[in-house]
Chain A
């Protein structure tokens, strides 16, 4: 399998990586860059645990080839709190006890970030719609939806900052 050299940014940092043509973006993030916060739950685009932002759009990274990331901007859960200080979205998840096992959490946080960037004041229905591709088996989604509502209030007050 021929390798390709691709250049892209992840969480603001410029990266250059050699990847085989069939490597998925998920595999590249986890195996080449050790960004293991992005989770592998189904490799079929069905569970949302691998959600990352590609040029601001929530994307199942298991369904995208790494080579397609060439020249794009990627954001993963690690990019939400680069300095270790929790972002308003993360803080809202903490405050609302919106985490149990934590395996879907990175995807939920990233999908939320994507939602609030394009719609800082979502209705409850819009939140549910935005998260419908992110499966959670533990929480029953109740606290997650509450956390997104609370984060939206906070988010509007910051300058687009996560």
Chain B
């Protein structure tokens, strides 16, 4: 790499955080040193899936030497929640899942805190529990939240008090009934996906200090420092200005460190021991059951097409098993509702998407936000339809997939995208249509494809802000509230700042850690929105700084700023070819003629971005002018082998192609594609298991396996298409989550191609494949 990278947008520059991360000097939340005043917290978790709390007695715990405090639900009367404020910080009256915190112990060591937690005595009265989302949605199901009607709720979420349904999104377009009669092929299926966990390698850590003055600080690994500030401030009645969230590097998030889970517990515990920081660190077991998980889903889906392969109608019910409380859950069901068709143009649609309370860990955001779940069924049905009318599945998708400017299911006009090119490139990369020999006689080889769409799912007006400050030597500090979880946000934002300012990439620093006291506002690092939204804010801030510089220099030279530009850190005039370095002048300004005074001063640029055009959707039909800001689309094609003697699946090739609008850093996109493909593949084999009473059976990395280095595909082929997004910086849109959405269904389609067997339920396993092969042989 050259020492200085000029005009870095579009170039694969080295990650800005690389040196810190390969030397072990990158600071993560658990690495921050707090000195001998640090106390340790431990949560007391309930052992029942659904019970009423009769009594909590902390006397024995408090008598243990070294114990400083025990907090319970009695100390926190208000609930917390993102869209539906339904969750007590510590359980009050009722517990709704195994592992729910009922108390928090603070002690001088982790060991004492652990011991004391076992001394907190809680009396429970068990009540009936419910785990399946379809059962839980019935009128006579055990009710988790009798007070559902009294919870505060966002104006686009529609819970049904008196039931376990926390959100019901309805999509009505055209008329499905008469359309079924015109279908030459109809396929209907029920698809089930279990709860799965994010499994970041860094477990959640939160440290909080409540100073006697009322100033409160929370240090934590967070995708959402500002949202956490807002939620905790509201719940605990702290002025926003007195509450500070500091988030250093995040050791993997995937949605699990967005919103809020255990962080608020640390703040409540710190309030009980003012002046002492309190550290609360999740064990791996707690990470599985006590933070958040991806929701389960039961999908009943029916789709039909005519004999030419034109999709005519779709009817679907999605029942998301939301777990005991909603963090993002309700909005995942909503997103699955307004995107319920997947990336297809279907004229007649009846969709109902429900988020349903179940006595399980809290279901929330995970990479893909409802899309991996719904695409699992949709994409298998599309293959079955293609087969029924004897059409190539890739051609079937080319014909029906959504295209620019078409009016999609919500009535919104599709912003520019090119999904057909994604299909073309992905299929070509695995020699689609060519039957290839398996590596051994007992193996069967097959190919499959799946396509996807996903919109950033968020309130209509999430904002981003950025500040660009110059230093004496013309290096630049970019402050943002967006977070780098590994996806490369800091690098991409630094590239954008450099490009817009006209300075080399290497002159830019991104101010870390994210600190709500000093960093400008950012809604949250979620929804694959940072490249786009924060990118726009950074570009605006850089342009603001550049405008200030050009005005100063133009005044100094007696020229029009329009005739000046900045390149490689030097201001120059197109008209006179005069040049001046940024060094010094960006702080000290420039002298007037004959040194009669000075012009300028320290350059600080500010920028912000917030989408202003998203509209409400009709409650009965889900119709509206603009449901979402945009969609990112893509395709994956998979070539695999099934071992008929063991049921083992070996993925030979995955080709992934996405329309990214503009590749700001092409190699970072490739690393997302590779990581996403393996994450998607791994997710097909993952599932939290519970016994009949709701106790988790595999909350550890031995019984809940994620892909290792030995499991990965032999070849991952990444590529992208660039159809510029109208309001994206240089046309860019996000791709971080999308890369895992179609992997599992593409695998399922390839397995069917290989052995003629369909799997409607996840997780897959070699055992299940083997059993299905046996049954097929026998029948």
User: A143 an interface residue at 8 Å Cβ cutoff?
Assistant: yes
When the two chains form their complex, are residues B17 and A102 in contact, meaning their CB atoms are under 8 A apart?
Answer: yes
When the two chains form their complex, are residues A97 and B671 in contact, meaning their CB atoms are under 8 A apart?
Answer: yes
When the two chains form their complex, are residues A140 and B677 in contact, meaning their CB atoms are under 8 A apart?
Answer: yes
When the two chains form their complex, are residues A44 and B712 in contact, meaning their CB atoms are under 8 A apart?
Answer: no
Complex interface residues of chain A between 131 and 150 (CB less than 8 A to chain B): 131-145
Do A101 and B202 form a contact, CB below 8 Å, given A37-B24, A46-B702, A86-B22? yes
Q: How far is the CA of A87 from the CA of B452 in the complex (A)?
A: 42
Instruction: Return A123 CB to nearest CB of chain B, in Å.
Output: 13
Contact pick for B22, options A34, A99, A100, A142, CB 8 Å: A99
When the two chains form their complex, are residues B486 and A41 in contact, meaning their CB atoms are under 8 A apart?
Answer: no
Q: How far is the CA of A86 from the CA of B25 in the complex (A)?
A: 13
User: A59 an interface residue at 8 Å Cβ cutoff?
Assistant: no
Chain B: which residue is nearest A93 at the CB level? B22
Do A127 and B18 form a contact, CB below 8 Å, given A38-B24, A44-B284, A101-B251? no
> Within 8 Å CB of A90, what residues of B?
22-23
Instruction: Return A96 CB to nearest CB of chain B, in Å.
Output: 9
When the two chains form their complex, are residues B22 and A101 in contact, meaning their CB atoms are under 8 A apart?
Answer: no
Q: How far is the CA of A30 from the CA of B667 in the complex (A)?
A: 34
User: B138 an interface residue at 8 Å Cβ cutoff?
Assistant: no
Contact pick for B671, options A34, A105, A139, CB 8 Å: A139
Tally A residues with Cβ within 8 Å of B.
53
User: A74 an interface residue at 8 Å Cβ cutoff?
Assistant: no
User: A155 an interface residue at 8 Å Cβ cutoff?
Assistant: no
Complex interface residues of chain B between 185 and 214 (CB less than 8 A to chain A): 198-203
Chain A, residues 50-67, CB within 8 Å of chain B (1/0): the string is 000000000000000000
When the two chains form their complex, are residues A138 and B486 in contact, meaning their CB atoms are under 8 A apart?
Answer: yes
Q: How far is the CA of A35 from the CA of B24 in the complex (A)?
A: 9
Q: How far is the CA of A45 from the CA of B532 in the complex (A)?
A: 39
Q: How far is the CA of A136 from the CA of B199 in the complex (A)?
A: 9
Contact pick for B710, options A86, A132, A136, CB 8 Å: A132
When the two chains form their complex, are residues A77 and B201 in contact, meaning their CB atoms are under 8 A apart?
Answer: no
When the two chains form their complex, are residues B674 and A140 in contact, meaning their CB atoms are under 8 A apart?
Answer: yes
Complex interface residues of chain A between 80 and 95 (CB less than 8 A to chain B): 80-81, 84, 86, 90, 93-94
Contact pick for B668, options A77, A80, A97, A104, CB 8 Å: A97
Most buried by A among B21, B31, B283: B21
Q: How far is the CA of A84 from the CA of B19 in the complex (A)?
A: 10
Instruction: Return B675 CB to nearest CB of chain A, in Å.
Output: 4
Complex interface residues of chain A between 12 and 34 (CB less than 8 A to chain B): 30, 34
When the two chains form their complex, are residues A100 and B486 in contact, meaning their CB atoms are under 8 A apart?
Answer: yes
> Within 8 Å CB of A43, what residues of B?
283-284
Chain B, residues 477-517, CB within 8 Å of chain A (1/0): the string is 00000000111100000000000000000000000000000
Contact pick for A143, options B203, B671, B708, CB 8 Å: B671
When the two chains form their complex, are residues B200 and A137 in contact, meaning their CB atoms are under 8 A apart?
Answer: yes
Contact pick for B15, options A30, A36, A39, A99, CB 8 Å: A99
User: B254 an interface residue at 8 Å Cβ cutoff?
Assistant: yes
When the two chains form their complex, are residues B486 and A102 in contact, meaning their CB atoms are under 8 A apart?
Answer: yes
User: B14 an interface residue at 8 Å Cβ cutoff?
Assistant: yes
Instruction: Return B650 CB to nearest CB of chain A, in Å.
Output: 13
Chain B: which residue is nearest A125 at the CB level? B710
Contact pick for A39, options B23, B251, B679, B708, CB 8 Å: B251
Q: How far is the CA of A106 from the CA of B667 in the complex (A)?
A: 22
User: B775 an interface residue at 8 Å Cβ cutoff?
Assistant: no
Complex interface residues of chain B between 17 and 43 (CB less than 8 A to chain A): 17-28, 30-31, 33
When the two chains form their complex, are residues B23 and A37 in contact, meaning their CB atoms are under 8 A apart?
Answer: yes
Q: How far is the CA of A128 from the CA of B713 in the complex (A)?
A: 12
> Within 8 Å CB of A138, what residues of B?
252, 486, 675
When the two chains form their complex, are residues A47 and B201 in contact, meaning their CB atoms are under 8 A apart?
Answer: yes
User: A129 an interface residue at 8 Å Cβ cutoff?
Assistant: yes
Chain B, residues 678-717, CB within 8 Å of chain A (1/0): the string is 1100000000000000000000111000111110100010
Instruction: Return A128 CB to nearest CB of chain B, in Å.
Output: 4
When the two chains form their complex, are residues A39 and B675 in contact, meaning their CB atoms are under 8 A apart?
Answer: no
When the two chains form their complex, are residues A140 and B252 in contact, meaning their CB atoms are under 8 A apart?
Answer: no
When the two chains form their complex, are residues B23 and A101 in contact, meaning their CB atoms are under 8 A apart?
Answer: no
When the two chains form their complex, are residues A100 and B24 in contact, meaning their CB atoms are under 8 A apart?
Answer: no
When the two chains form their complex, are residues A135 and B24 in contact, meaning their CB atoms are under 8 A apart?
Answer: no
Q: How far is the CA of A131 from the CA of B708 in the complex (A)?
A: 8
Instruction: Return A116 CB to nearest CB of chain B, in Å.
Output: 15
Q: How far is the CA of A80 from the CA of B701 in the complex (A)?
A: 28
When the two chains form their complex, are residues A104 and B201 in contact, meaning their CB atoms are under 8 A apart?
Answer: yes
> Within 8 Å CB of B33, what residues of A?
34
Contact pick for A140, options B14, B17, B679, CB 8 Å: B679
> Within 8 Å CB of A135, what residues of B?
199, 201, 701, 706, 708
Do A134 and B709 form a contact, CB below 8 Å, given A46-B700, A140-B674, A140-B716? yes
User: B250 an interface residue at 8 Å Cβ cutoff?
Assistant: yes
Do A44 and B201 form a contact, CB below 8 Å, given A37-B23, A102-B26, A140-B676? no
User: B249 an interface residue at 8 Å Cβ cutoff?
Assistant: yes
Do A105 and B252 form a contact, CB below 8 Å, given A140-B679, A142-B674, A145-B709? no
Do A81 and B23 form a contact, CB below 8 Å, given A39-B28, A97-B671, A103-B201? yes
When the two chains form their complex, are residues A103 and B671 in contact, meaning their CB atoms are under 8 A apart?
Answer: no
> Within 8 Å CB of A93, what residues of B?
22
Chain A: which residue is nearest B202 at the CB level? A103
> Within 8 Å CB of A69, what residues of B?
none
Instruction: Return B452 CB to nearest CB of chain A, in Å.
Output: 18
Do A97 and B667 form a contact, CB below 8 Å, given A43-B284, A136-B201, A141-B678? yes
When the two chains form their complex, are residues A41 and B671 in contact, meaning their CB atoms are under 8 A apart?
Answer: no
User: A49 an interface residue at 8 Å Cβ cutoff?
Assistant: yes
Do A128 and B709 form a contact, CB below 8 Å, given A38-B24, A43-B283? yes
Q: How far is the CA of A62 from the CA of B26 in the complex (A)?
A: 20
> Within 8 Å CB of A73, what residues of B?
none
Q: How far is the CA of A44 from the CA of B486 in the complex (A)?
A: 24
When the two chains form their complex, are residues A140 and B678 in contact, meaning their CB atoms are under 8 A apart?
Answer: yes
Chain A: which residue is nearest B682 at the CB level? A137
> Within 8 Å CB of A30, what residues of B?
30-31
Do A40 and B30 form a contact, CB below 8 Å, given A101-B201, A101-B202? yes
When the two chains form their complex, are residues B678 and A77 in contact, meaning their CB atoms are under 8 A apart?
Answer: no
Most buried by B among A41, A90, A99, A103: A103
> Within 8 Å CB of A86, what residues of B?
19, 22-23
Chain A: which residue is nearest B668 at the CB level? A97
When the two chains form their complex, are residues A140 and B675 in contact, meaning their CB atoms are under 8 A apart?
Answer: yes
Instruction: Return B612 CB to nearest CB of chain A, in Å.
Output: 33
User: A42 an interface residue at 8 Å Cβ cutoff?
Assistant: yes
Instruction: Return A75 CB to nearest CB of chain B, in Å.
Output: 12
Do A78 and B701 form a contact, CB below 8 Å, given A104-B201, A138-B252? no
Chain A: which residue is nearest B1 at the CB level? A95
When the two chains form their complex, are residues A140 and B701 in contact, meaning their CB atoms are under 8 A apart?
Answer: no
When the two chains form their complex, are residues A102 and B251 in contact, meaning their CB atoms are under 8 A apart?
Answer: yes
Instruction: Return A154 CB to nearest CB of chain B, in Å.
Output: 14
Q: How far is the CA of A158 from the CA of B427 in the complex (A)?
A: 44
> Within 8 Å CB of A152, what residues of B?
none
Do A49 and B201 form a contact, CB below 8 Å, given A101-B251, A137-B679? yes
Chain B: which residue is nearest A48 at the CB level? B201
User: A10 an interface residue at 8 Å Cβ cutoff?
Assistant: no
Q: How far is the CA of A90 from the CA of B676 in the complex (A)?
A: 24
Contact pick for B674, options A42, A47, A133, A143, CB 8 Å: A143
Chain A: which residue is nearest B25 at the CB level? A37
When the two chains form their complex, are residues A46 and B675 in contact, meaning their CB atoms are under 8 A apart?
Answer: no
Task: Name 7 extra pairs, CB < 8 A, besides A132-B710, A137-B200, A137-B254.
Answer: A39-B28, A77-B23, A84-B23, A94-B19, A101-B253, A128-B710, A141-B707
Pairs A–B under 8 Å by Cβ, sample size 17: A36-B27, A39-B251, A86-B23, A99-B22, A102-B20, A102-B21, A104-B201, A128-B708, A131-B708, A132-B709, A135-B706, A137-B252, A138-B675, A139-B671, A139-B674, A140-B679, A142-B712
List the interface of chain B (C-beta within 8 A of A). Answer: 12, 14-15, 17-28, 30-31, 33, 198-203, 249-254, 281, 283-284, 485-488, 667-668, 670-671, 674-679, 700-702, 706-710, 712, 716
Nearest 8 A-B pairs (CB), nearest first?
Answer: A37-B24, A103-B251, A101-B486, A140-B678, A100-B486, A102-B21, A77-B24, A46-B701
